[in-house]
Structure 1
Amino acid sequence: MTHNFLGRQSRRAFTLVELLVVIAIIGVLIALLLPAVQQAREAARRMKCTNNLKQIGLALHNYHDTYGRLPASYYRDPDYYNRGWGWSVMILPQLEQSNLYDALEVSTMPIPRDPDERTQTPLTAFRCASDTGPDLNPDRNDQGMSNYVSIQGADSAGGYRSSSADLGDYGGFMFQLSALKFRDATDGLSNSMMVGERAYVDKAPERPWLGAQWVGVTYGAGYAGTMRCLWGNDDYRINGEATWAISSNHPGGAQFLLGDGSARFIGETINGDTLIRLAQRNDGEVIGEY
């Protein structure tokens, strides 16, 4: 009996070169896929931030409907070292946080000098999903972290107040002791910023942003974590170089709540004059495309 081996093919293993080529191809595919995954995750985080701002906008509109005015950035008490409850606290009932609002005793008690378990409550409504800061802000006396501040207007000094008697009305919607109505936005609600982002970066030298606090202005947690101005120079523009800049961890810009309740992402390369126009409610200037 004879056997025919001519039709059989011998099996051989991969050579080292072929194996290295396969590994290289897999590496290239992973390198191409990873940025897409990261972009998808950031898109989801940015959407969550957008939803936060829309909910804050709805809460502010409901507050306005109830009280006939917007809350102040903070309610400075001149007999209590100029500290006071912030705008975020005032809209807690509109954000389904009535229990916390009642526990804070806002209507009857001054803001606590130091943080406690109430003012340190983590509130996702005031946290951007892209922000990596802790629940307690170590640069603002360990008060509960926030990533949103009211826009007090446009000012070349960033809204710096020379004294406690200066209300800080630089054309924005909310500043200390303010009581504005939507009708005061004569430029139009869709043309005026109401709330902007404030990122927290852990002492990064190139972007030393300090985040914000939702409770208001307390000892060691100043008004820069409750309200801020915008301007066109490097310090005070979006993602600027100052610690108090309006900023975010979203690539290329930050998100804002406009007076009409809509949320919009605005790039950091926006024209400085346009930025100033958007930060003011009543300057009468025409806003171009942005």
Structure 2
Amino acid sequence: MSRKLNGFTLVELLVVIAIIGVLIALLLPAVQQAREAARRMSCTNNLKQLGLALHNHHDTYGKFPAGASNEEDSSSDETGGHWSARLLPFVEQTNLYEAITLTTDSANFAAGGGGVSGASLTSSNASHRNIAACETLVPGFRCPSAPIPEQIRDTSTDNWTVQNRVPASYLGNCSGTLTSDYQSGQGQAWWGKSAGADLNGVFQNFRPLRFADVTDGTSNTVAFGEAVPDPRNTGAREDSANGASAQKDHWIIGGDDADVPADWSEMFGTLGVGINLPKVDPGAAGFSEYEFGYSSQHPGGAMFCLTDGSVTFLAETSDAATRKAYGTRNGEEVVSN
């Protein structure tokens, strides 16, 4: 009497393996989409928190933070603090804010001679505390979709260095019309008390603006947008008039380049150029636009926080007139969704 053996034949096993492979192939895109949706939600929340911080700063001081450098009533405008430093108390980073010095020229945000190693937030040296702040990771200033290093060596236009500076994902909006952050290119008074007409965004360098200055309406004007940095760890001077050694670099807290007319894309962006522009090598045609524009790893566009605190997604296919209208605070344009 023969016994029937139970088991898979080779053909059946191959069929099962093939079916599992197909199911995995179908499932992976769904998993990736779910992960991107979660990252996009986190990015949206980061921008929402920046919008709330901007409002709380205005409620407290009656004005937005200065885009960079010192306050308008100072005799100096070379201290180098970015708008992000002044928002730290309003994004639950009071301890970090209290460690830095924003109102003294000698308290630098970088160091000569190749930088300083082991800078500490508790140092008795104000410059070392500022540098340590620049080396501190603040997750709320970084989009989780952006593939950027946690820290990188940064050497400024004036050849001052931060050994482990933290790249950031969000830029303050300074314009809806500028296409270059190099002063002689468009005649902007970048770091003085005066400002050219094209500095028509929510942030200027030395002069803090107010809600009253946003005459186009806070729901029609971008305050912050995301931009993917493309830092290059060359150890050389990062930007010489947008020349061969330039970077697309974005930083928080402060920097040595706040008082030079060549690298305002460190903390500012413009909607005068397209969103998600293709990568351009330093020194090549179109690098100025690429360096100064907004971008993201979210498919099809980038996230922006409007001045009313709401967050919106602007498509990279948005027409130029709509994009620029969102960038200006006082252009009297009609924004079309």
TM-score (norm 1): 0.85
**Contact 1:153–1:280 (CA under 8 A) maintained in structure 2:** yes
Q: Which blocks of at least 5 consecutive residues in structure 1 are unaligned? A: none
Match of 2:209 in 1: 180
**Contact 1:139–1:210 (CA under 8 A) maintained in structure 2:** no
Mapped partners of 1:160, 1:152: distance in 2: 13
Give the number of aligned pairs.
275
SS at match of 1:216: coil
1:129 is displaced (CA, Å) by 1.1
Q: CA deviation digits over 1:220-260, x for unaligned, max 9? A: 994211012122xxxx3111131332111112111111010
What is the aligned counterpart of 2:225 among 196, 202, 215? 196
Mapped partners of 2:90, 2:226: distance in 1: 20
What is the aligned counterpart of 1:226 among 253, 267, 283? 267
Q: CA deviation digits over 1:249-284, x for unaligned, max 9? A: 112111111010011121111111110011011111
**Contact 1:216–1:223 (CA under 8 A) maintained in structure 2:** no
Match of 2:102 in 1: 106
SS at match of 1:155: coil
Mapped partners of 2:298, 2:336: distance in 1: 24
Mapped partners of 1:134, 1:18: distance in 2: 47
Mapped partners of 2:104, 2:301: distance in 1: 40
1:83 is displaced (CA, Å) by 5.5
**Contact 2:175–2:271 (CA under 8 A) maintained in structure 1:** yes
- 1:259-270 map, 5 Å: 259-270=307-318
Mapped partners of 2:208, 2:178: distance in 1: 24
User: In terms of mean alpha carbon deviation, does 189-198 or 243-252 score higher?
Assistant: 243-252
User: In terms of mean alpha carbon deviation, does 139-148 or 87-96 score higher?
Assistant: 139-148
1:73 aligns with 2:121: no
1:237 aligns with 2:274: yes
Mapped partners of 1:80, 1:179: distance in 2: 15
1:153 aligns with 2:175: yes
Match of 2:125 in 1: none
1:36 aligns with 2:30: yes
What is the aligned counterpart of 2:139 among 124, 134, 138? 124
What is the aligned counterpart of 2:326 among 278, 281, 286? 278
Q: CA deviation digits over 1:59-91, x for unaligned, max 9? A: 110100111111121016999895510000011
SS at match of 1:105: coil
**Contact 2:70–2:206 (CA under 8 A) maintained in structure 1:** yes
**Contact 1:199–1:209 (CA under 8 A) maintained in structure 2:** no
SS at match of 2:39: helix
**Contact 2:222–2:307 (CA under 8 A) maintained in structure 1:** yes
Mapped partners of 1:209, 1:15: distance in 2: 60
Q: CA deviation digits over 1:4-36, x for unaligned, max 9? A: x6xx98235423222221111111100110111
**Contact 1:151–1:228 (CA under 8 A) maintained in structure 2:** yes
1:91 aligns with 2:119: no
Q: Over alpha carbons, which structure has the higher Rg? A: 1
User: In terms of mean alpha carbon deviation, does 84-93 or 12-21 score higher?
Assistant: 12-21
SS at match of 1:187: coil
Q: Which amino acid aligns with 2:92?
A: E
1:147 is displaced (CA, Å) by 0.8
Q: Which blocks of at least 5 consecutive residues in structure 2 are unaligned? A: 116-130, 156-161, 233-245, 279-289
1:11 aligns with 2:5: yes
Mapped partners of 2:215, 2:75: distance in 1: 34
SS at match of 2:313: strand
Q: Which amino acid aligns with 2:328?
A: Q
User: In terms of mean alpha carbon deviation, does 166-175 or 96-105 score higher?
Assistant: 166-175
SS at match of 2:29: helix
User: In terms of mean alpha carbon deviation, does 155-164 or 210-219 score higher?
Assistant: 155-164
1:167 aligns with 2:189: no
Go from structure 1 to structure 2 and tell me whether the alpha carbon gap of 1:229 and 1:123 turns closer, same or farther (over 3 Å shift): same
SS at match of 1:117: helix
TM-score (norm 2): 0.74
Once the two structures are aligned, what percentage of the paired residues are identical? 41
**Contact 1:239–1:245 (CA under 8 A) maintained in structure 2:** yes
User: In terms of mean alpha carbon deviation, does 220-229 or 115-124 score higher?
Assistant: 220-229
**Contact 1:150–1:175 (CA under 8 A) maintained in structure 2:** no
Mapped partners of 2:166, 2:99: distance in 1: 15
**Contact 1:187–1:284 (CA under 8 A) maintained in structure 2:** yes
Mapped partners of 2:79, 2:103: distance in 1: 15
SS at match of 2:25: helix
SS at match of 1:270: coil
